[in-house]
C-alpha cells in the first residue's frame, strides 16, 4: 500500500495548528450532482494551502445512508459513493501532504448507522445473541414490553429508544440511540467494539491520516444499569450537567482513549486526536487531554461565548487554566457545522449566556450583517492571536452568514423532523460554498452540472465568492490570508503563553504574546486609545486618527 508521508516533521504540530474544517458535502462538487465530493476537494487543495492553514479536518466521508449528514456510518473502511472512492481518498491525502497540509478525519464511535452490518446482524439474530451485545438492546417496560426501558432523550428530540420487530414478526426489544433512530449506540463494554475501533484507527493511520476528530467523545460510556435521568439531567441535554450523569462524560471514557493514544503513539510520525466533548466545566474537559489520553479538545466555551469582553475573557482564562494544568494546548473555534455561523450570532444584541443557535438570541431585532461582519473580523484576529491551535470552519474566511430562510421542504437535519418542526436544525450553516461567478451555483458545481446544489445558496453571496474577494482590499478572505501568513511566521503566535495587559476595562481585551506582539480587541462602542506600540501589524478594520473603533481588533508590534 502506498504510504502518504505527512508534511515535514515539526514537533507537536497539533499544539499550534490552524485546522480548516471541510464539510465535504458543501465544499466543492466535482461531478455536478450538487453534492460536494473528493474530486472537488482535490481541485481546491491549492486554495487551502494558499489560505495558509496547516491541516484540514473532514467531516465523515464514509459509506452512509446520510440520516445525519454522514454521522451514521455503515462502513468505517470505505468512502460513500457520493463523495468518491477509497482511491480518491488516498490520492487526496497524498496531494494534501504534497502541499504541506495535514489531514484529520472524523471517527464516529458512539453509534453506527442502522444499516451497518453489525446492526443488521443484531436485529436478525434476536435477543440474547452476541450481535445484540454490541449495542444496547433491552426488553421494554409495561405489561407487554410496550414502554421504553428508561426515560433517556434523543439529542435530536423525542425518546432515545426504538423498538424492533423480531425475526419472527413480533414486536420485540428496544435499542438505545442518543441521536436519531438510524444511529444505534454501541456498547463500549463489549470487547469486540473496542477492538474494532482500534483496528479502524490503524486502517486510516496506515493510509497516512495525521489525526482523528472523535465524535461525541463524552458519550461512549453508559451506566450499565441504564437508570432513569433525573430532572436536572434532562434539562442538561447535549452536555454533562454533572459528574455523575448516566451517559455523558463518565469516567469509563478515559480508559478507552488511553487505548487510542497507544495506537497513535505506535506510529513514527505524530498522529493527533481532537475530542468533540461537551462537558460541564473546563476542568472536566481537561481530563480528556491528560498526557496519556487525547492531544486536544474543541473549546466550546469559547465558541458559545457571546460577543462580550467579560464572557470571552472568562472563557479564555478558564480554558487556559484548566488545559494548562494538564499540559495540553487550547484550541479556539468560532463556528462549525453544528452551530449558527458567527457572523449571524454576533450580528444581533448579545445575551449574557452561551449561544449555539439563533433561537437563543432576540428574534424581534433584525440581523445586522454589517455589525456581525465587523465583529467576525475582530474575532478572527482575537482567535488567531490566542495561544494554542485554531479551527476555521469552511466559509468563515469568506464571511458567510447563517442561511435562515431555507425552504422547509429542503431541510435535511434530522432535528427538524424529530423536534416536530420547532427547531430548524443546522442546515443553515451547511449551505454550499460560493467560489466564483455571479449566480448560483457560484462555481461550487462545474459548468453544465446536472443538479442544483443540495441546499440553495443566497443570491447575495455573489459578493462573497472566493473570486470576488481574492486580492480585494478589505475583504474577509484577504484578512484571513494576511492573519494566517503572519501567524505562520511570527514567533509569538501559536503555542505558548499570553499575558493580559493591565489598565483596560472589561470591554477591551488587550494581551501580549512574547516576543513583541500585542492584540487589542475593542468590544465597546467607543474609540479606544491604543497602548504603547512600535507599529501596526494588522487591523480588522480602519483605525480612526490612530484610535481603535468599536468591534475592531489590532495586532501591534512592540
Does residue number 108 form part of the binding site for ligand NOJ (CB under 6 A)? yes
CB of 512 to ligand NOJ, least distance (A): 35
Closest CA to 340 of 276, 431, 447: 431
The one segment of 10-18, 67-75, 235-243, 477-485 that binds ligand NOJ by CB under 6 A: 67-75
Q: How far apart are CA 11 and CA 4, in angstroms?
A: 19
Does residue number 197 form part of the binding site for ligand NOJ (CB under 6 A)? no
Toward ligand NOJ, which CB reaches closer, 338 or 466? 338
CB of 60 to ligand NOJ, least distance (A): 8
Question: What radius of gyration do the chain's Cα atoms show?
Answer: 23
- Would you state the cell numbers that stand for residue 259, as one nine-digit string? 487505548
DSSP H helices, 331-462, are 342-346, 369-385, 414-418
CB of 360 to ligand NOJ, least distance (A): 18
Does residue number 114 form part of the binding site for ligand NOJ (CB under 6 A)? no
Toward ligand NOJ, which CB reaches closer, 188 or 442? 188
The one segment of 66-74, 125-133, 501-509, 522-530 that binds ligand NOJ by CB under 6 A: 66-74
Does residue number 427 form part of the binding site for ligand NOJ (CB under 6 A)? no
- Would you state the cell numbers that stand for residue 558, as one nine-digit string? 512592540
Annotation says 37 is catalytic: no
The values of phi and psi at residue 491, to 5°, are -65, -15
- Considering only residues 70 to 89 of the shown chain, the ones binding ligand NOJ according to CB under 6 A are 71
CB of 179 to ligand NOJ, least distance (A): 5
Query: What would the DSSP string read from start to end of 515-542?
Result: TTEEEEEE-SSS-EE--S-SEEEEESS-
Residue pair 35/18 in contact (Cβ under 8 Å)? The answer is no
Does residue number 61 form part of the binding site for ligand NOJ (CB under 6 A)? no
Please list, in sequence order, all residues whose beta carbon lies within 8 angstroms of the beta carbon of residue 268, skipping any fewer than 6 positions away: none
Which residue out of 72, 233, 276, 396 is catalytically annotated?
276
CB of 276 to ligand NOJ, least distance (A): 6
Helix 369-385 and helix 476-489, axial crossing angle in degrees, nearest 10 = 10
Does residue number 285 form part of the binding site for ligand NOJ (CB under 6 A)? no
Q: What angle do CA 280, 235, 305 make, to 5 degrees?
A: 45
- Considering only residues 506 to 525 of the shown chain, the ones binding ligand NOJ according to CB under 6 A are none
Does residue number 215 form part of the binding site for ligand NOJ (CB under 6 A)? yes
Does residue number 62 form part of the binding site for ligand NOJ (CB under 6 A)? no
Q: How far apart are CA 275 and CA 219, in angstroms?
A: 11
Q: Which long-range contacts (CB under 8 A, 24 or more apart) does 446-454 make?
A: 446/29, 446/30, 446/31, 446/32, 448/32, 449/29, 449/32, 449/33, 449/34, 450/32, 450/33, 451/32, 451/33, 451/34, 451/35, 452/34, 453/26, 453/29, 453/34, 454/25, 454/26, 454/34, 454/35, 454/412
CA distances to 35, 84, 380, 462, 465 from 454, in Å: 6, 17, 29, 18, 18
Q: Where are the beta strands (DSSP E) in 240-323?
A: 272-275, 296-297
Q: How far apart are CA 554 and CA 465, in angstroms?
A: 25
Annotation says 223 is catalytic: no
Q: How far apart are CA 439 and CA 458, in angstroms?
A: 9
The one segment of 68-76, 125-133, 248-256, 399-407 that binds ligand NOJ by CB under 6 A: 68-76
The one segment of 64-72, 163-171, 224-232, 306-314 that binds ligand NOJ by CB under 6 A: 64-72
Q: How far apart are CA 104 and CA 194, in angstroms?
A: 21
Interaction pattern, residues 115-134, with ligand NOJ; x per rule: CB under 6 A: --------------------
CB of 110 to ligand NOJ, least distance (A): 7
Residue pair 505/524 in contact (Cβ under 8 Å)? The answer is yes
Q: How far apart are CA 50 and CA 53, in angstroms?
A: 8
Which residue out of 68, 88, 215, 249 is catalytically annotated?
215
Using DSSP bridges, classify how beta strands 535-539 and 161-165 pair: parallel, antiparallel or unpaired.
unpaired
The one segment of 63-71, 120-128, 167-175, 352-360 that binds ligand NOJ by CB under 6 A: 63-71
Single residue of 24, 66, 79, 216 touching ligand NOJ by CB under 6 A: 216
Does residue number 278 form part of the binding site for ligand NOJ (CB under 6 A)? no
Toward ligand NOJ, which CB reaches closer, 174 or 278? 278
- Considering only residues 141 to 180 of the shown chain, the ones binding ligand NOJ according to CB under 6 A are 179
CB of 427 to ligand NOJ, least distance (A): 11
CB of 182 to ligand NOJ, least distance (A): 11
Please tell me the count of residues contacting ligand NOJ according to CB under 6 A. Answer: 10
CB of 181 to ligand NOJ, least distance (A): 13
Interaction pattern, residues 219-258, with ligand NOJ; x per rule: CB under 6 A: ----------------------------------------
Catalytic residue numbers? 215, 276
Binding residues for ligand NOJ (CB under 6 A)? 68-69, 71, 108, 179, 215-216, 276, 337-338
Amino acid at each position: 500500500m502506498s504510504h502518504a508521508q505527512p508534511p515535514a516533521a515539526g514537533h507537536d504540530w497539533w499544539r499550534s495548528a490552524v485546522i480548516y474544517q471541510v464539510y465535504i458535502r458543501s465544499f466543492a462538487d466535482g461531478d455536478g450532482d450538487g453534492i460536494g465530493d473528493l474530486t472537488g476537494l482535490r481541485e481546491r487543495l491549492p486554495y487551502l494551502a494558499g489560505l495558509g492553514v496547516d491541516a484540514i479536518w473532514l467531516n465523515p466521508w464514509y459509506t452512509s445512508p446520510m440520516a445525519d449528514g454522514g454521522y451514521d456510518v455503515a462502513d468505517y473502511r470505505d468512502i460513500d459513493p457520493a463523495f468518491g472512492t477509497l482511491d480518491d481518498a488516498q490520492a487526496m491525502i497524498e496531494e494534501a501532504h504534497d502541499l504541506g497540509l495535514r489531514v484529520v478525519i472524523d471517527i464516529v464511535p458512539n453509534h453506527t448507522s442502522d444499516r451497518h452490518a453489525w446492526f443488521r446482524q443484531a436485529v436478525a439474530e434476536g435477543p440474547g445473541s452476541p450481535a445484540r451485545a454490541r449495542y444496547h438492546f433491552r426488553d421494554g417496560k409495561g405489561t407487554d414490553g410496550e414502554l421504553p426501558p428508561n426515560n433517556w432523550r434523543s439529542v435530536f428530540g423525542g425518546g432515545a429508544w426504538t423498538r424492533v420487530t423480531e425475526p419472527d414478526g413480533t414486536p420485540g426489544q428496544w435499542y438505545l440511540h442518543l441521536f436519531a433512530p438510524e444511529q444505534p449506540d454501541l456498547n463500549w463494554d463489549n470487547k469486540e467494539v473496542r477492538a474494532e475501533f482500534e483496528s479502524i484507527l490503524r486502517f486510516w493511520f496506515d493510509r497516512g491520516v495525521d489525526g482523528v476528530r472523535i465524535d461525541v467523545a463524552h458519550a461512549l460510556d453508559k451506566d450499565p444499569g441504564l437508570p432513569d435521568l433525573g430532572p436536572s439531567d434532562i434539562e442538561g441535554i447535549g452536555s454533562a450537567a454533572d459528574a455523575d450523569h448516566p451517559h455523558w462524560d463518565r469516567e469509563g471514557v478515559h480508559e478507552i482513549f488511553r487505548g487510542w493514544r497507544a495506537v497513535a503513539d505506535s506510529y513514527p510520525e505524530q498522529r493527533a486526536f481532537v475530542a468533540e466533548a461537551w462537558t460541564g466545566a473546563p476542568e472536566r474537559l481537561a481530563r480528556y487531554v491528560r498526557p496519556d489520553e487525547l492531544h486536544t479538545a474543541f473549546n466550546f466555551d469559547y465558541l458559545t461565548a457571546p460577543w462580550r469582553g467579560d464572557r470571552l475573557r472568562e472563557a479564555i482564562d478558564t480554558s487556559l487554566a484548566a488545559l494548562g494544568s494538564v499540559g495540553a494546548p487550547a484550541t479556539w473555534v468560532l463556528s462549525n457545522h453544528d452551530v449558527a455561523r458567527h457572523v449571524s450570532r454576533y450580528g444581533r444584541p448579545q445575551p449574557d449566556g452561551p449561544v449555539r443557535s439563533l433561537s437563543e438570541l432576540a428574534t424581534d431585532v433584525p440581523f445586522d450583517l454589517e455589525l456581525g461582519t465587523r465583529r467576525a473580523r475582530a474575532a478572527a484576529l482575537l482567535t488567531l492571536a490566542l495561544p494554542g491551535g485554531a479551527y476555521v470552519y469552511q466559509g468563515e474566511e469568506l464571511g458567510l452568514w447563517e442561511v435562515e430562510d431555507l425552504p422547509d421542504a429542503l431541510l435535511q437535519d434530522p432535528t427538524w423532523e424529530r423536534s416536530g418542526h420547532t427547531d430548524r436544525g443546522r442546515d443553515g450553516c451547511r449551505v454550499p460554498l460560493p467560489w466564483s461567478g455571479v449566480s448560483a451555483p457560484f462555481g461550487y458545481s462545474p459548468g453544465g452540472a446536472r443538479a442544483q446544489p443540495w441546499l440553495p445558496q443566497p443570491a447575495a453571496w455573489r459578493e462573497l465568492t472566493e473570486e470576488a474577494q481574492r486580492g480585494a482590499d478589505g475583504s474577509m478572505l484577504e484578512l484571513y490570508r494576511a492573519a494566517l501568513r503572519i501567524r505562520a511566521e511570527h514567533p509569538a503566535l501559536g503555542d505558548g503563553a499570553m499575558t493580559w495587559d493591565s489598565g483596560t476595562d472589561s470591554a477591551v481585551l488587550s494581551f501580549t504574546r512574547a516576543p513583541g506582539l500585542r492584540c487589542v480587541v475593542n468590544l465597546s462602542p467607543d474609540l479606544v486609545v491604543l497602548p504603547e506600540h512600535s507599529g501596526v501589524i494588522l487591523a480588522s478594520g480602519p483605525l480612526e486618527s490612530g484610535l481603535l473603533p468599536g468591534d475592531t481588533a489590532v495586532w501591534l508590534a512592540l
